Chain A
Amino acid sequence: MLLSIILIPFITALLLLFIKDAKKSNTIALVSSAASLAISIWVAMKGAPDFNQAWIAALNSRVFLHADGLAKILVLLTTISFPAILLATGSNTLAQKNIFISLLLLTQAGLLGVFLAGDALLFYFFWELALIPVYFLCSIWGGEKRIAITFKFFIYTFLGSLMMLAGIIFLYTHSTEPNFLIQNFAHATLTPAQQTTAFVLFFIAFAIKMPIFPLHTWQPDAYEQSPTAVTMVMSAVMVKMGLYGVIRWLLPLFPVAAKSAAVIVVDLSVIGVLYASFIAIKQDDIKRLIAYSSIAHIGLMNAALFAHQVIGVQGVLIQLFSHGINVLGLWMVADIIEQQTGTRSMMAMGGLAKKQPTLAILLVAFAFANIALPLTNAFVGEFLIFNGLFQFNPWVAAFAGVSVILSAIYTLNMVQKVAYGEVSEATQKINFINKGAQWALIILLVIVFASGVYPQPLFDLTADTLQQMFVK
């Protein structure tokens, strides 16, 4: 069961290399991603037995897949995101689209593997499998500055990957049993100094991925220059790899180091939240605005993880999912606008509410989800996150709370510039909304409100992870 979740996109990706027709390949990918979605919903509801098979015998590394609450909610996010993305961007024309989609699905396979892997080497394998296709996607199909940007992105994340690999080997050498099972690493007896070393190695890898201030500058560039489908994958799902790493690796494996680093990391994250929010206020490029907004949201989650209060971590587990849904919605609207107007500059926009009311309504709805209005999904997560921060330190919560105000400022300014006012020359060109995108947005919106009004299923889904983390 668990293996099939990963294999479906993987095999489809290989298959697509031989299907030249753009439309057909999109349809096949949609079917494949729908199948993954169906299976992962099943797994989320009913659970699935672990998959355990020898892999690299020499190293005693295994294909060990395990789905706990954390894995389930991220698998669900991944498998919801991909069909939505394919649906929304299906009509965008690209050269050699079948290869584009193939690489996209390869990334999906990698992401799902990352979230399910219980073996460190397998984890690393999937981590790279998720990243490498993205380099190609950006450098081949990206915007005009793509080469330089992708290079930076590549160096940055590759540096992180290497650190992580070193960390994995380091842990392996210190673990009590000669295998790579992540859960066994927890039994490794490390001196505080060793723990710190390992912690730093992993932390840098994850911090780059999320990204955490000040390691974030690759991200707005990469989001801006990538084709939107790739941007969506990166910001909805891929950044969660970093947070996932914190929950799966840093907190359980290096509790002492994580605790002593807590104050620094929380402070740094919160500074990053405000920093990114301020910069978002001054953006004119709609994609960059969303990118900085996303950096702020992710920073908040990371702060709550290191604050390490049950209530805040609970919030993060929910928010991992909700943030993905919301940011997807924003990207989709931005993509429709960019595809038809050819610009991302908000100065050139305006009047969408008059020209395309439906699209404007969707934009406004996602904008308010982005600023965590109650009864949207993000409120639940952020409410708990702030509670956790408050228990950690009331002043940190108050300071981070300023982002609640700042996010309202930049998000509503965006809405005003894009949706309101008289119809601009650029907006005049938006003559239709493709049905796929519209449906994808509506489905996401239903999720936004459903999980905002009744989030309990998400709590139930992630309860076991929380218990593992806090009941010792």
Chain B
Amino acid sequence: MKVIIGLIILWPLAGFLFNGLGRNFWSKKIIAYKATGYIVASFILSVFAFMNVQEYGAVTVHYFDFINTATLKIPIDFKVDALSSLFLLVITGVGSLIHLYSTAYMKEETAPHYARYFAYLNLFIFSMLLLVLGDNFVVMFMGWEGVGLCSYLLIGYWFTNGNYNAAAIKAFVMNRIGDLGFLLAIFWMVVKLGTVSYGDVFTEASLTKLSSADITAITLLLFVGAMGKSAQIPLYTWLPDAMAGPTPVSALIHAATMVTAGIYMITRSNILFSHSECTQTVIAIIGISTALLAATIAIKQNDIKKVLAYSTVSQLGYMFLGLGVGAYTGAVFHVITHAFFKALLFLGAGSVIHAMHHEQDIQKMGGLKSKLPITHLTFLIGCIAIAGIPPFSGFFSKDEILTAAYEKNPIYFYLGMVGAGMTAFYMFRLYATTFLGKFRGTDDQAHHLHESPIAMTIPLILLAIASAIAGVIGVPEIMGGHHWLGAHLTTIVGATHESVLSHAQEWMLMGISVSIAVIAVIIAIVIYRKKADGEPTSGWGKVLFNKWYVDELYEAVIVRPLDKLAAFLKNTIEKNVIDGAVNGTGKMVQYGARQIRLMQSGQVGYYILFMVLSIILLFVLWFNDATILRFFYKLTH
């Protein structure tokens, strides 16, 4: 197992090195085969590891000690258990498909850049695997910052564009704000427990060493980390900007995998989080608020990727709501289904953008249904799945979260319903505007409209199938299912608790949610079947179109004041106050020297006399005890 687990993570690293170092040597064909092949190899081994866990239970393997000192020991240990094995499958599985898709999507790049792209993508998979495989918080943090690096590199992949670079920096810096929280949580654990290994932290013995204030602080700080990585209020504004990266990157990193790292982290530490009511409430409130805020913004966006980006933020909000109300299984379930349908939607969007020659504005699309049949059909499946219409996968996972939310507090449920309605609405607005009605682009674009090549449609088809049927892993009991996922995760989050709701209540909640979704879908199709939204010029539409002006708010309240502070420190404090004082002292000495110069007579004897006198004076002033006498005494003895 040690070798297999090692290889799962080393294959992508090998791919990174191969393409990164050989970017000027290999042909595009070799680059594509290698990069994709390494990830597929990882996937196959992951399947094996997954089955092994099913059969024999969790495995922990030790490689070497990263830090081993008297005070702290941090080993490089990997753990494959029920939770990480699931993530392994999602990361390498969806990762493989997106690599395959990229081979065609990035075809226009020259070989060195093509290699650079795949090197980054491989490095991302490596970091993501490190994140989920690590058996302690420091290894998780290594992967955590590693995926941040790759995200930065890929958002800014087209580096000659200044705006893209700005988006990349924004993503990294906002993530770093979260990372500081994560780091402080780690320090807290080190101080209180002397260890960061899961096996040592998540024990009764450790929990008794922590006061409830400790637990609340640690979990809140961890959650700050999750806010950054998983784009929650207030650290979400980087994710929509991150759409500057190539579309497959948005699918893989900014939808399916990296942004779910926060959910992974909290699920992994669920024992801690369950011990802090306060943190859980905060998570639930932030989660549902993010879900709603992002959904409102998505309603008015006209950039196909921006809609999907806000949708991702919103769906992540749902997952955090699930975590906040203790529905860890539901959250992980939604991570999995979301990985399928959101990767599908992004890749579908990529296919559309590819066909439209880099046009992303849905106002200029329309009627693509007949020109891109496969893209259309698969995209539709993705939309149905995310809208929460049974029997597609999104229904089951979202329903599980919302049911748990209802048990905790019905208000969460009702708010969640509002969000679900908006989700169905904006997704079908996107669908209808893009695929239905008449084509609104240029004649030139119309002439070149084409279905994407097979390397792009195969991932679409496979992801569509997964989006449609993935719900089977968590069919609830009242529908006659066994909820395989719940049973699977028992070792991680404990046994699925018995629902306090009656079957009638559960059916009713489901009924409400499905009917809201269906109504929203119908409304959206009716409105947008023939025409697109223009740019709103007033009222709420304008506010939503401008994303509630949150970016502007941050700019005015945080960025600009800090920039002014920096300028003030540099131009006033540093230059005038501190250096001014130093130079002033220097000038005074010079002035004094000019006066003393009058004493210069040119006779060496005087100089020596002055020197000796000053040294003696110095000593007398400084050491008013018998220092000097003792000095000479010692010299002579």
Contacts and interface: CB of A to CB of B under 8 A. Distances in A.
Contact of A387 (B68, B190, B586, B618): B190
Contacts of A282: 566-567, 569-571
Nearest to A405: B176
A185 to B, nearest CB: 13
Contacts of B70: 310, 466
B635 interface: yes
Interface residues of A, number: 64
A214 B637 CA distance: 43
B181 to A, nearest CB: 9
Interface in A444-466: 453-456, 459, 463, 466
Given A173-B630, A217-B579, A374-B146, A387 B637 contact: no
A314 B187 contact: no
A456 B68 contact: yes
Contact of B187 (A279, A386, A409): A386
B478 interface: no
Contacts of A373: 145-146, 149
Interface in B513-538: none
Contacts of A197: 622-623
B180 A357 contact: no
B71 interface: yes
B215 to A, nearest CB: 15
A125 interface: no
Q: Which of A58, A278, A357, A456 has the most CB of B within 10 A?
A: A278
A283 B574 CA distance: 12
A385 to B, nearest CB: 11
Interface in B524-576: 562-563, 565-567, 569-571, 573-574
A374 B145 CA distance: 7
B608 to A, nearest CB: 18
Contact of A279 (B65, B71, B574): B574
Given A404-B180, A421-B159, A412 B173 contact: yes
B112 interface: yes
A402 interface: yes
Given A152-B582, A178-B637, A387-B72, A421 B565 contact: no
Interface string A243-254: 000000000000
A456 B67 CA distance: 6
A89 B623 CA distance: 47
A155 B586 contact: yes
Interface in B47-93: 64-72
A351 B160 contact: yes
Nearest to B116: A357
A92 B351 CA distance: 52
Contact of B141 (A152, A374, A390): A374
B187 A217 contact: no
Contacts of B637: 178
Contacts of B71: 310-311, 314
Contact of A454 (B64, B152, B156): B64
Interface in B127-167: 138, 141-142, 145-146, 149, 152, 156, 159-160, 162, 165-166
B184 A405 contact: no
Interface stretch (A27-35, A75-83, A164-172, A262-270): A164-172
Which 9 pairs across A and B sit closest by C-beta, in order of nearness?
A: A374-B142, A390-B187, A420-B159, A278-B566, A217-B579, A173-B630, A282-B570, A416-B165, A412-B169
Interface of A: 58-59, 152, 155-156, 166, 169-170, 172-174, 178, 194, 197, 214, 217-218, 275, 278-279, 281-283, 310-311, 314, 351, 353-354, 357, 368, 373-375, 380, 383-384, 386-387, 390-391, 394, 397-398, 401-402, 404-405, 408-409, 412-413, 416, 419-422, 453-456, 459, 463, 466
Given A156-B582, A412-B172, A422-B160, 8 more contacts: A170-B623, A173-B627, A217-B574, A279-B569, A354-B160, A375-B146, A383-B138, A420-B165
